[in-house]
Structure 1
Amino acid sequence: MKQLLVFVLFASLFCWLMFSPIYKHVLVIRQALLQQEADYLLEIGASGRYGYIDGDMLAESRGRLSEFGFEASLLQYEVTSTSGAEGDNSAVPLPRGTGIKLRIAYPYENLLNIDRLIGLAPNSDDARISGGGMKMSEYVPTG
């Protein structure tokens, strides 16, 4: 009986040691993709041509991220500004010097459930990985 218990414990530890780095790697790649997409949207949205990050830009972003395996309906975007004005309104672009803040969040999707094999509790269902940042708008109205 003792040998069976040792075997079961060793097998679970062995499985965790084999597969945990793979799941952690997927997690790191997903977070990096979210951060890369946030940086790209901020670069485009804060440019002198736009001064906002609107719904069309976010829809294109969902499409790009879904190509990497993200489920588009689970992506959450938050666009705000340092002045309190709407950062996603194309009718009223943010003027130069106003910060556009963006946060993209996505659930862990049970990636860390394998940690249960060694007694670690996985993240809650509402926990999310995210990428984001802030960039100053360069938009200058013409006319």
Structure 2
Amino acid sequence: MKQLLVFVLFSTLFCWLMFSPIYKHVLVIRQALLQQEADYMLEIGASGRFGYIDGAMVAQSRERLAGYGFNPVRLEYEVVSTSGEEATNASSPLRRGTGIRLRIAYPYENLLQIDRLIGLEPPSGEARIAGGGMKMSEYVARSD
């Protein structure tokens, strides 16, 4: 009986040691991809040409992230400005010096369930990994 118990405990620990780094690696890669996408969108949206991040840009971002295996429906985008103005309105770009803040969040999707084998509680179903940042708008209205 002791040998069976030792076998079960050892096999549980062995499974966790074998597979946990893989899931952690997937988690780190997902977070890095979210951060890279947020940086790219802020670079484009805050440029002198745009001054906003609209729905079309978000849709293109969803497509890019779907190419990496993300479920586009589960991606959450939050775009706000530091002045309180609407940061998603293409007809009213944010003027130079106004900050555009972007946050892209995605659920963990049971990636860390294997941690239960060693007694660690995985994140809740509402928990999300996220990437984001803020960049000052460089948009200057042209006077033709």
TM-score under structure 2 length normalisation: 0.99
Deviations 1:71-129 (A, max 9, x none): 00000000001001111111110000000000000000000000000010111000000
- 2-structure distance, mates of 1:128, 1:38: 15
Matched, 1:140 2:140: yes
User: What is aligned with 2:76?
Assistant: 76
Equivalent in the alignment of 1:31: 31
Specify the alignment match of 1:90 in structure 2. Answer: 90
Q: Which runs of 4+ in 1 moved over 2 A?
A: none
Between the two proteins, what is the percent identity of the paired residues? 76
Aligned AA for 2:104?
I
Instruction: Give the residue type in structure 2 aligned to 1:92.
Output: S
Cα RMSD, aligned residues only: 0.4
Partner of 2:61: 61
1:30-72 residue CA offsets vs partner (Å, 9 max, x unmatched): 0000000000000000000000000000000000000000000
Letter in 2 for 1:17: L
**SS of corresponding position for 2:103:** strand
Deviation at 1:138, TM superposition (A): 0.1
The 1-side partners of 2:123 and 2:49 are apart by 41
Per the TM alignment, residue 3 of structure 1 is displaced from its structure 2 partner at its CA by: 1.2
CA distance in 2: counterparts of 1:2 and 1:82, whole angstroms? 63
How many residues are treated as equivalent by the alignment?
A: 143
User: 2:99, 2:23 → 1: CA distance?
Assistant: 35
Which residue matches 1:2? 2
